[in-house]
Amino acid sequence: MSKLYSIGLGVGTKNRKGEWLEVFFPQPLLQPSPAWKAAISTTPYQEGNQTIELSNDEVAEFLTEAEKDGADTHFVKRLASTQQPLVLVILENDAPPATVAEAYLKLHLLSHRLVKPHETNLSGIFGVLPNVAWTSHGAIDLEELAEKQLEARLKGEILEVACVDKFPKMTNYVVPKGVRIAHTARVRLGAYLGEGTTIMHEGFVNFNAGTAGPGMIEGRISAGVFVGSGSDLGGGCSTMGTLSGGNNVIISVGNECLIGANAGVGIPLGDRCTIEAGLYLTGGAKVAIIDDSGECIKTVKAARLAGKSDLLFRRNSTTGAIECLTNKSAIELNEALHANN
């Protein structure tokens, strides 16, 4: 076996039809070692990407074989004694997820910081993941929810339904080192949170999105958006994701940027950029370029400024026009703009 993309041994939840609702992978592996590859010989695996359900005995045999070649199995060894359904996911390549278990393994890779947003193929994940009731008794199939609620009531209990969604909250699966999350329901599994990241109560981080850290997030990081080191998102601000109007443009925020309260960004930002509070900057917005003497030298669409560093975007308090100031001279800025043609 020359190469493998990822391996995950997990425990999860099925509905009464035997369909997977969710899977927890305590130790997802990216580019697994030869020891783990050797252990695969004990399973029915043949080739390609496969989801293989295993019995407790089969899991024990798999882990024993991995240990023979030096693999560290202590974190997953207890899986062999569970009464819950067990699954082994083997990804030979980074193809789009074809099963619920494959999708969950890829989301785990992101939240465990093994890959960054856009570094693993999540195409079609919405069609793979089921919509699930996330409750105080775990994941429940929506068709079975009413009966489960009645069963709880008959025992004098209340079945708490936290949300109904395709994605669970990240902290029920992994809590990365060195982060603060004030409201855990606002960070989905598949978020990437770099060390030093603080997510305040109104902050939100979608799957396949996140922060390099450190940073303060009081706004919304939409799907596909990655925020650089030392950048802050003010209260109520928004980043435009590919699922919410960004189309094929991947929005990113560079290092040491500030997006003000209730502002928004619809273009990729370079480093050390600022968008003033209340200004939503879309790619089609007309922006007046202001030179060091305060004169407007050019008006361009904001998309022309994508990825450029050291820019301040603001609204003119008199005219309402969007302005962009830079610490570069007018000549240098014009050369940078014309280079995009």
Q: Which of 65, 102, 218, 276 is catalytic?
A: 218
- Residue ranges covered by each domain of the chain: 6-129, 134-165, 170-338
Say which residues have a Cβ less than 8 Å from residue 312's Cβ, sequence separation at least 6: 273, 274, 276, 324, 325, 326
- Which residues face 207 on adjacent strands? none
pLDDT < 50 stretches in the chain: 1, 245-246, 329-334, 337-341
Give pLDDT tens digits for 80-89. Answer: 999 999 999 9
In the annotation, is 157 catalytic?
no
**Residue 2: predicted pLDDT:** 54
Q: Count other Cβ atoms within 10 Å, centred on residue 185.
A: 16
Say which residues have a Cβ less than 8 Å from residue 5's Cβ, sequence separation at least 6: 30, 31, 91, 92, 93, 94
* CATH fold for domain 134-165: Wheat Germ Agglutinin (Isolectin 2); domain 1 (3.30.60)
Please, how many CA atoms are within 13 Å of residue 119, restricted to the half-sphere of its CB? Answer: 19
Give pLDDT tens digits for 166-225. Answer: 999 999 999 999 999 999 999 999 999 999 999 999 999 999 999 999 999 999 999 999
Q: Which CATH number fits domain 6-129: 3.40.50.1980, 3.30.70.2010, 3.20.20.140, 3.40.718.10?
A: 3.30.70.2010
Looking at this protein, which amino acid is placed at residue 208? N
**Residue 160: predicted pLDDT:** 97
Nearest-Å Rg of the Cα atoms of the chain is 24
* 6-129 and 170-338 agree in CATH topology: no
**Residue 335: predicted pLDDT:** 52
The number of residues in the chain equals: 341
Domain 170-338 has CATH 3.30.1330.60: no
Residue with tokens 């979608």: 206
